[in-house]
Structure formats: structure tokens, C-alpha cells
Amino acid sequence: MSRTLRVLSVLASLTAVAATLTACPGGPVKVGAVLPLEGNFAIYGEPIHKGMELAYEQVKADPDRVQITLEIRDSKGDPARAAELLEELYDSGAVIAIGGVTTDEALTMVPIADRKGKVLVSPSASSPRLTGISRNFFRLYPSDFREGNKMGIFAAQELGIDKMVILAAESPYARGIQDVFQTEYERSGGEVIEVIEYPSGGTDFSGLVQRALQLNPVGIYVADYAQNVSKIIAELRKERFDGKILTTSAYASPEIIAEAGADAEGVLLTQTAVPEDDPALQSFVQAYREKYDERPNIWAAHGYDAVNVVVQALTDSGTSASDAWKGMRGIHNFHGASGVVQFDEKGDVGKFPRTYVIENGELVDYEKAVEDKRKEILRRIEQLNRTRSQLSRGGGDGN
């Protein structure tokens, strides 16, 4: 065999080996996750965990997708602990991680992802401060800029509230969304009488509410996580406040709403929505019910999508840390249980919130309900007009 033919033969053999290695990678890819499974923020972390576990089971059953091992750690809602756990996961071989359930956790975790040069995917952190914070950070939940903007305009233009008090926790999450709400509310013609901030770790909510009510607001906007929002609402009900109570999607926890009972009735909030007849949503809801015997909430849907998006990125682009980043950047028009996922250049998704009102312990699409009522009134008017016309014609024949 000539030297040229031997070289060509060796190259052919190397190419075959490379193809074999690509087709049969050396085992599942490690994906890490840091979630608050204990403490106050478990009301978000636990449903996210359930959604992730469901997606993980489905991935393992699908031979056409990159196989992963999913290692989940409990942050207990402590941002410093979340950062430490994330670093441990990256150091132990995780090529990509899911985490930053709350804004506070995400803000401590992003620097770790940057130092390690690996991707971090948040299922639910929403502060505007996170927009464009790092090339390695992606999130499935839309920025609070959209939510605060939506509620600010809605409060002034649709509800006609001309004077409001804002109650906001001293936290990155609350400050981010209340700033946007105030800006859009005032731009739409409303007046914020006062912004009252309070320690995020808890306070005398009775005294806080008394101070707010002394200002005689028509409406009160509460920016905080669910437990504190619920306590403030309870105090407002105790004081027989008869104005509108508005809050954020953080309050959209079935457990919190059920526990609040009658106090929650009539509270308005904003959150993203997917049409009930959406095939991806229906498939997810059915599978979730079969596994857990309960209906999933918005947080479960985002946990489910987090795993599926990560696996899609790895399947499309490869299984190294740099491949994972390329794969996330390449996610396009991904139809998930929480809606269509597509990241912009800043790592945000383009989902849009709607306004909901709590009725009989359930979240009801306010705008859809109003439109349905409008259509029903028009239908009744049209029916009444037809009846009158028929009676008029019948009377004329009788004469």
C-alpha cells in the first residue's frame, strides 16, 4: 500500500471513530438544579420540582433526545446557599443548571455561572434587573417590566382608579415590579399617593395597613411574595377596606389562595396565560394529573418547560458547556406548557401577561370575563329586540 493510501486509510478510520463517539456519547449529560424545597419559597419550588420530575421521566423514555441525569439540590430559599450549591453542581460536572427560582437567588447565582462559564436557566425569576445581566443567563418567566406595565395601565384606564398607595417589600423583586407599575400607572393618569416600603422578612402588617388607609386610597397595590401579600390582604379585609386590591403573579399560588379563603375574593393580579385548548398545555396537564393526581399551576408548567428546553438545547447543539450555550441561543419557537419559548439577545422570553380576578377561589381571566359578559348582554338585547319586533308585527295583524 502506498504512503498516500495508508494516510487516507488512517483518516477514514479516525472519521469512523469520531462518528461513533458522536453517535454514542459516554453516558448521560449531568444537569444540575437548585430549588427552594423547604421554607417560605417552597410554594414555588415544590411545584417547579414536580414539573421538572415529570419532564425528566418523559426525557428518559424518549431515545431520540439527549439523555441526562438530573441532580436537584435544596436551597431552602437562602440566596447564599443557592450560590454555593450551584458552584458544587458545576464543579461536579453539571454542564448546565436550572435555578434562581426567586430574584434574590438568581442574583447570587449568576456570578457563579459567569465564573464557571456555564449556562444558568431560571424557571421563574422575573425582576427587570436580570434582563441582560449575563450572556450565560436565560429565563423562562417574562420580565416584571411586562407585568408591572400591564397592571399599571389596567388600574388607571380599565378600573378607573385615580389614587393608589403602593405597599412594597424591601427586596429586589418587589422594588423592580413596583417601580414599573408606578411609572405606567402615573403615565396613564393615576396618582400614587405614597410608596410605603417595609422589611421583606416581615413586619407589623397591622400598623402598615393602618398607615396606608389613613391616606384614603381608592386602590392598593401590593408588591411582595405570596405569604406577605396574604397577610396584608387579611389586614385590609379586617379593616373593611372597600377599594381594589391589586398584586403580582407571585400571589398565584393555589395553596395560598385556598388558605386565604374569602379574603382573596376580588383580588386582581397579572400573570402569563396559555389558551386552554393549546395542545402542549393539554398534554402537560393530562400527564401531570396522571402522575400527581392534581392540576398543575403556573410554576409547575415553568419547571416542566425548563427541563425540556435544556434537553432540546443539548439535543440540537451538543453536550459540552459551550454547546449548551449555543443550543440555548438557538431555541426558536419552542411550544411549551407555559407558552412559546424563544429567547431574545438578553436572555428574556416574549410572553405577555393578562389580568386575573379571584372568584370562588379560582383565577378568572378578567378581560375575558368582561368580554363574555358584554357579549351576553348584547345577545340578550338582540333577543329582546327580536321579541318586541315579533310582538309588534303580531299586534298589527290583529288590527
If you average pLDDT over residues 257-284, what whole number do you get?
94
Q: What is the model's pTM? A: 0.85
What pLDDT is attached to residue 377?
A: 60
Please give the C-alpha separations between residue 36 and each of 64, 122, 275, 307, in angstroms, as whole numbers. 31, 13, 29, 17
Q: Characterize the bridge pairing of strands 29-35 and 163-169.
A: unpaired
> Would you give the distance in Å from CA 304 to the centre of its chain?
12
CATH architecture of 29-142+279-349: 3-Layer(aba) Sandwich (3.40)
- Range in 14-28, 64-78, 219-233, 360-374 the model is least confident about: 14-28
Confidence of residue 202 (pLDDT cuts 50, 70, 90): confident
pLDDT-derived band at 390, boundaries 50, 70, 90:
confident
> What b/e sequence results for 237-250 when a residue is b if at least 16 CB atoms lie within 10 Å of its CB, and e otherwise?
beeebebbbbbbbb
Q: How far apart are CA 212 and CA 214, in angstroms?
A: 5
**Whole-number pLDDT of residue 3:** 44
CA distance 310 to 298: 19
- For residue 100, the model assigns a pLDDT of 97
Retrieve residue 201's grid coordinates. 422578612
CATH 3.40.50.2300, the chain: domain bounds? 29-142+279-349, 145-274+354-368
Q: What is the pLDDT of residue 14?
A: 38
pLDDT value, residue 188 = 97
pLDDT at 398: 46
- % residues pLDDT > 90 (the chain): 82
Average of per-residue pLDDT across 336-357 = 95
pLDDT score for 386: 73
> In this model, does residue 17 exceed pLDDT 90?
no
Superfamily covering domain 145-274+354-368: Response regulator (3.40.50.2300)
In this prediction, residue 242 has a pLDDT band, given cuts at 50, 70 and 90, of very high
> What is the mean predicted confidence (pLDDT) over 325-349?
96
- pLDDT, residue 103, reads 97
| Half-sphere exposure in the Cβ direction for 335 (13 Å, CA) | 8
The mean pLDDT value for 282-304 works out to 97
Q: How confident is the model at residue 273 (pLDDT cuts 50, 70, 90)?
A: confident
pLDDT of 151 > 50? The answer is yes
66 burial type by CB count under 10 A (0-12 exposed, 13-18 middle, 19+ buried): buried
Mean pLDDT of the chain: 90
pLDDT for position 298: 95
Contact 286, 306 (CB under 8 A): no
